[in-house]
A and B are shown apart, each in its own frame.
Chain A
């Protein structure tokens, strides 16, 4: 009977929805295998996290609410999460593959000496854990079996389907064991980036532009379609390297990996390095003048045309749907 803990990430009090996806999946696993789902939360106030986690089937949420958890600190947060694992002994700890989770997961695993698996897309329990993750840039999958009693697993956002499982999670506190622990690398401040309103890695819809947009002045067209769809705006490596958009928009190898419900590739040929970052998207749309572009091999819907003749109309149409 495996007990699964799920890390509920907050930044400035805002909760990351990958937590609800993980709790939903953990609940599906424990419905079949027995055991409980526990949220684990670090932050000044656990009330919202506890209420929300209950909606998706968490049995309880264990929180450490010290002021030290107002903002991320690898050493303090890693210490707290390791203390949680030592005292509560979950069989699996899921951590979202976000900027924070990718840092916190291995940090905690190193403190505990336990197995850590990054960026997983599926977790199974049958006489032990089996974790699936893409390797070689999504060109194949690896099924992994951990050998330690506790395993920390990073979960790719949008890999699991969020599903309500109404109930109330019990609120509990745990001792984070950070007295006398000092920060090693200190976050002095956070600077917000200009541009995209929706963040790429967690976005449910991504609209990306490539060389087909012809110049930096036309990226606005991609952003307008993204806005109309409530999507994040992405880019191919080609236009990032050309200096047309900031590299924080880059999707693919040496950029971000995304797995949204909908990926719209505008004027992107679909080089293998780009496919690496988006081929796990559930529905892919390709708009490209070149009928032989490799992007059409992975696309579900395609329009072979000049994107300048398609994207503005598509933006208007989507706007009408939203209205």
Chain B
């Protein structure tokens, strides 16, 4: 069985954005880059399947600059992926979701996979589209937002989180899944495994290597702007907490008019 895990390197969630005024570009210097936390669920699930079965091969695939290699090594290869493919192309610097999907489709078509795993979404763009776009472009069944997975012979059952419950979804392989928290607890890489990960195959490719031209974006980013500033916090006198609670109820009802 061949599994592909499509991952993204993103700025750490603690990253501060330095954007005093609206601007066409973001200052991205000084960002600490890590594996997208949702992708860790996808990587862990692939490795669990590998550990449970015979003859399972896991390939991590990413698009990004050369600097993604460290993240791939530490958070994919060192925790159990067998090999990695990095698609690096200057034409993809400001790629939108559709462009990323088209490039990944080219990579996923080159080698045939039984199961393709994505994180639910990336924490930087927060859009959650790419996995679903890829599934449709490959003509594969997909289940998005999964919190549980059982693999059968040539098929799968997944739990998909919805409002107030979950859908129990069945599909045949090959299939594509996007992984949500609850699916598993991602392991941390051990130091010896990080050292050994350097020995695992890591291939670099451009769009041309995959037999395609860099696609044109369907959406352009015009401007980044800082979020609206919030007013000062009105601190209530808390000497008597119960009185403060009563005053809060009154303010929410009469001033803010939200209850």
Return the contact of B126 from the options A98, A118, A273 (Cβ within 8 A).
A118
> Hey, which chain A residues are within 8 Å of B14, CB to CB?
272
Residues of B within 8 A of A115 (CB): 98, 218-219
- What 1/0 flags go to B196-226 for Cβ under 8 Å of A? 0000000000000000000011111111111
Question: Digit string of B133-170 for contact with A (CB within 8 Å is 1, else 0)?
Answer: 10111001111110000000000010011111111111
Question: Are B13 and A253 in touch, CB under 8 angstroms?
Answer: yes
- Asked if A190 and B132 sit within 8 Å, CB to CB, the answer is no
Q: Is the CB of B126 within 8 A of A119?
A: yes
Selected interface stretch from B49-57, B83-91, B106-114, B234-242:
B234-242
Q: Which of B16, B161, B241, B251 contacts A309 (CB 8 A)?
A: B241
Assess the B165–A191 pair: CB atoms within 8 A.
yes
Q: Does B67 contact A (CB under 8 A)?
A: no
**Cα distance A318–B246 in the bound complex, in angstroms:** 9
CB contacts (< 8 Å) of A185 on chain B: these are 141-143, 169-171, 175
Q: A110 touching B136 by the CB < 8 A rule?
A: yes
The complex places the Cα of A201 from the Cα of B163 at a distance, in Å, of: 8
Tell me if B165 and A283 are in contact (CB < 8 A): no
Chain A contact patch, size range: 35 or more
A310 and B258 in contact (CB under 8 A), knowing A102-B144, A103-B132, A302-B234?
no
Q: Within the complex, what minimum Cβ distance (angstroms) separates B49 from chain A?
A: 18
- Contact between B101 and A110, CB atoms less than 8 A apart: yes
Q: Which residues of A, 85-109, contact B by the 8 Å Cβ criterion?
A: 98-100, 102-103, 105-107, 109
A44: chain B residues at CB < 8 Å are none
Q: Which chain B residues lie closer than 8 Å to A276 at the CB level?
A: 13, 123
- What is the CA–CA distance of A136 and B129 in the complex, to the nearest angstrom? 16
Which positions 141-163 of chain A face chain B at CB distance < 8 Å? 141-148, 151
Query: Nearest B residue to A141 by beta-carbon distance?
Result: B225
Closest chain B residue, CB of each to CB of A230: B259
Residues of A within 8 A of B101 (CB): 110
Q: Given the complex of chains A and B, what is the CA–CA distance between A185 and B136 in angstroms?
A: 12
Whether A250 pairs with B169 at a CB distance below 8 angstroms is no
Contact among A134, A146, A302 with B227 in the assembled complex (CB-CB below 8 Å): A134
Most buried by A among B135, B244, B258: B258
A181 contacts chain B at the CB level, 8 A cutoff? no
Q: Is the CB of B163 within 8 A of A202?
A: yes
Give the shortest distance, in Å, between B256 (CB) and chain A (any CB): 5
Shortest beta-carbon distance from A138 to chain B in Å: 6
Decide if the interface of chain A is mainly helix, strand, loop or mixed.
Answer: mixed
Establish whether residues A141 and B227, one from each chain, have CB atoms under 8 Å apart when the complex forms. yes
Task: Please pick, from A143, A148, A297, the residue contacting B218 in the complex, using a CB distance under 8 A.
Answer: A148
Docked CA distance A296–B232 (Å): 9
Is B93 interfacial (CB-CB < 8 Å)?
A: no
Inter-subunit contact B225/A140 (CB<8 Å):
yes
Asked if A138 contacts B227 (CB within 8 A), the reply is yes
B231 near A: Cβ within 8 Å? Answer: yes
Flag whether A45 is at the interface (Cβ < 8 A): no
A99 touches B137 (CB 8 A): no
Shortest beta-carbon distance, A308 to chain B, in Å?
9
With A110-B132, A143-B225, A184-B141 in contact, is A313–B241 under 8 Å at CB?
yes
Which single member of A72, A144, A200, A284 contacts B220 (CB below 8 Å)? A144
Alpha-carbon distance A116/B222, docked complex (angstroms): 16
Q: Output the least CB separation between A14 and chain B (Å).
A: 10
Contact assessment for A303 and B245 in the assembled complex, using a CB-CB cutoff below 8 Å? yes
Is B127's beta carbon under 8 Å from chain A? Answer: yes
B242 touches A186 (CB 8 A): no
A78–B145 Cα distance when bound, in Å, is: 17
Are A298 and B230 CB-contacts (below 8 A) given A145-B220, A262-B258? yes
* Contact between B233 and A297, CB atoms less than 8 A apart: yes
> Could you tell me if A140 and B227 are in contact, using CB atoms closer than 8 angstroms?
yes
* Cross-interface CB contact of A318 among B38, B226, B249, cutoff 8 Å: B249
In the complex, the answer to whether B164 meets A193 with C-beta atoms within 8 Å is yes
Are A147 and B168 neighbours in the complex by a CB distance under 8 Å? Answer: no
Contact of B259 among A75, A148, A151, A318 (CB under 8 A): A318
Q: Nearest chain B CB to A11's CB is how many angstroms away?
A: 8
Q: Are B246 and A303 in contact (CB under 8 A)?
A: no
Which residue from chain A places its CB closest to the CB of B242 in the assembled complex?
A313
Q: Which residues of B contact A (CB under 8 A)?
A: 11, 13-17, 19, 26, 37-38, 97-98, 101, 123-129, 132-133, 135-137, 140-145, 157, 160-171, 175, 181-182, 216-227, 230-231, 233-236, 238, 241-242, 244-246, 248-253, 256, 258-259
Other CB < 8 Å A-B pairs besides A99-B162, A255-B181, 7 of them? A119-B128, A151-B219, A272-B13, A276-B13, A296-B233, A299-B233, A303-B236
Interface pairs (10), CB distance under 8 Å: A103-B132, A111-B136, A143-B221, A145-B219, A187-B160, A188-B168, A262-B258, A303-B238, A306-B241, A310-B248
In order of increasing CB-CB distance, the 8 nearest A-B pairs are: A184-B141, A110-B136, A317-B249, A309-B241, A313-B245, A118-B127, A115-B218, A185-B171
